[in-house]
Amino acid sequence: MTVPAFAGMTLFLFGLMAQPLTAQQSLPPAPYAYRQLEDPAKEAEAQALMETLRCLTCQSQSIADSDAAMAGDMRHQVRTRIAAGEEPEAIRTWLVERYGDYVSYAPVVSEATWPLFAIPLLLLAGAGAILWRRLRRVR
């Protein structure tokens, strides 16, 4: 295979691999992704909830602060459900069921997560016991 043919084939293959990326970005944002609710009380309720939910794409920003497409979709879902009269905790529960515990900045102690809360306390108790023994020997 000649060099120009190889270069052409390589560019063609890279173009095929990039096609799914361009297809995902061609969708318009959800209607309530960047538009606030008309009722200021409901918008404040939605904003408060959105600040406690993690963007799954960015992983370090709340969906209120993120510009990722997924965060926009999640903002749309929150605002739509708040406008329909759903309670914020019901919306949080729905999002946690859909995306997992990681989506919420407010961790919940459950059967699967209790070790995450217990282990640091056990380590602190162990360190305190070791420190107490050493200080007792010094005296």
Output phi, psi for 26, to 5 deg. Answer: -85, -10
Q: In whole angstroms, give the CA distance from residue 122 to residue 86.
A: 39
Q: Name the residue ranges covered by the structural domains of the chain.
A: 3-107, 109-139
Do 75 and 64 meet the contact criterion of CB atoms below 8 Å apart?
Answer: yes
Give the pTM: 0.64
CB 47 within 8 A of CB 35: no
Per CATH, which fold does 3-107 belong to? Helicase, Ruva Protein; domain 3 (1.10.8)
pLDDT tens for each residue of 27-70? 666 777 778 888 999 999 999 999 999 998 887 899 999 888 88
What sections of 51-113 are H helices per DSSP?
69-83, 88-99
* Distance from C-alpha of 90 to C-alpha of 58, rounded to nearest angstrom: 24
